[in-house]
């Protein structure tokens, strides 16, 4: 199952496409994926949304081995992306993935059996607000223990980073379950030893079927990973999974797979992966133009 554990990240600040290059990269996606991207006004937001979708298709193609034209990625009512059930891969009994983007980074993580949640944060605050004013807006999402740890972390910068560490983990948990809701997050309480050996309690009950990791991705960006039992998925997301019940031994194997490091990729590499597949798809009419464009990458 280890080949199903992937962690990829892209630094979008290194990609400064011309309008033609951006349009070409966008054209590699299915038509229904393009409108949500072009709705964004700011180019940085468009880049994040585009790269997020390129990562999803690339990871499915490379890990599961599904030809690009056969990949169908949908979203639940809550917005959780999922691979439409199709070919069954025995060694990847419950392949699923999650993406996140903030600041300069866009990333994707995949798991072969467990639920996976991913979140990236860049510890910044809106201008015209102090750290205290900013984080007070979110105080209801933390347990009293977590809030005490945040407020006593040190100076203003220490407090901000501590806030984002907890927030990042809570987001990863929510995204893994596919809920898309932040209600009740004060009952999701994280414990750790210097931000290692991270565990969670829900309503005061320890949840050993979940594992978490928190690290720095680069340039001060924090990234968190959640790995949990498929039975914890929301009803709408559970319907998209191949299996939600596993015996203890099989689940223990999936839960304790190595959590691999993030592998940095660039947009050109993603384009090259998909370009090799796309230019021969019959629905693209000007194959000569596509082949020439692929050669540029």
pLDDT confidence tier of residue 292, bands split at 50, 70 and 90: very low
Task: Give the start-to-end residue ranges of the domains of the chain.
Answer: 1-92+104-111+259-297, 115-228
Residues with Cβ < 8 Å from 61, sequence gap 6 or more?
67, 68, 71, 273, 274, 277
Segment of 57-71, 84-98, 209-223, 268-282 carrying the highest mean pLDDT: 209-223
pLDDT confidence of residue 90 = 76
What CATH number does the domain located at 1-92+104-111+259-297 have?
A: 3.90.470.20
Question: Are residues 254 and 246 in contact, defined by beta-carbon separation less than 8 angstroms?
Answer: yes
CA angle 51, 57, 60 (to 5 degrees): 135
Share of the chain above pLDDT 70, in %: 92
Question: Are residues 232 and 91 in contact, defined by beta-carbon separation less than 8 angstroms?
Answer: no
Q: Which CATH class is domain 115-228?
A: alpha beta
Collapsing DSSP to helix, strand or coil, 206 comes out as: strand
Q: What is the DSSP letter of 12?
A: G
pLDDT confidence of residue 289 = 40
Q: What predicted TM-score, i.e. pTM, was given to this entire model?
A: 0.91
**1-92+104-111+259-297 and 115-228 in the same fold:** yes
| pLDDT at 4 > cutoff 90 | yes
pLDDT confidence tier of residue 275, bands split at 50, 70 and 90: confident
Distance CA 51, CA 105 (A): 10
| pLDDT at 257 > cutoff 90 | yes
Q: Which residue has the tokens 């979110």?
A: 138
- For all residues of the chain together, what is the average pLDDT? 90
Mean pLDDT of 103-107: 97
Distance CA 33, CA 46 (A): 12
pLDDT digits (tens, 9 = 90+) for 189-206: 999 999 999 999 999 999
| pLDDT at 287 > cutoff 70 | no
Mean pLDDT of 245-271: 94
Collapsing DSSP to helix, strand or coil, 66 comes out as: coil
Which of 88-92, 146-150, 152-156 has the least mean pLDDT? 88-92
pLDDT confidence of residue 277 = 64
Q: In 3D, which of 191, 110, 117 has the Cα closest to residue 148? A: 191
Q: In the chain, which ranges are continuous DSSP H helix? A: 19-27, 35-38, 43-59, 131-136, 144-151, 156-177, 235-238, 248-255, 267-278, 287-296
């Amino acid at each position: 199952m280890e080949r199903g554990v992937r962690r990829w990240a892209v630094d979008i600040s290194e990609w400064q496409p011309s309008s033609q290059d951006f349009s070409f990269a966008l054209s590699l996606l299915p038509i229904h994926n393009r409108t949500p991207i072009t709705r964004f006004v700011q180019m940085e937001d468009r880049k994040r949304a585009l790269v997020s979708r390129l990562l999803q298709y690339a990871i499915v193609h490379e890990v599961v081995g599904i030809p690009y034209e056969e990949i169908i990625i949908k979203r639940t009512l809550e917005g959780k992306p999922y691979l439409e059930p199709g070919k069954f891969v025995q060694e990847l009994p419950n392949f699923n993935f999650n993406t996140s983007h903030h600041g300069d980074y866009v990333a994707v993580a995949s798991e072969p059996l467990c639920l996976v949640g991913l979140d990236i944060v860049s510890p910044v605050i809106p201008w015209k607000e102090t750290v205290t004013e900013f984080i007070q807006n979110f105080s209801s999402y933390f347990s009293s223990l977590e809030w005490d740890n945040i407020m006593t972390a040190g100076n203003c910068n220490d407090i901000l980073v501590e806030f984002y560490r907890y927030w990042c983990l809570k987001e990863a948990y929510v995204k893994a379950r596919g809920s898309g809701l932040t209600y009740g997050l004060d009952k999701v309480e994280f414990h750790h030893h210097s931000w290692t050996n991270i565990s969670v309690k829900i309503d005061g009950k320890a949840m050993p079927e979940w594992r978490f990791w928190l690290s720095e991705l680069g340039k001060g960006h924090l990234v968190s990973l959640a790995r949990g039992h498929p039975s914890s998925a929301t009803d709408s997301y559970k319907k998209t999974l191949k299996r939600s019940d596993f015996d203890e031994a099989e689940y223990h194997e999936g839960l304790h797979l190595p959590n691999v490091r993030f592998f940095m990729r660039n947009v050109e590499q993603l384009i090259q992966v998909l370009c090799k597949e796309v230019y021969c798809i019959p629905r693209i009419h000007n194959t000569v133009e596509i082949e020439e464009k692929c050669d540029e990458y």
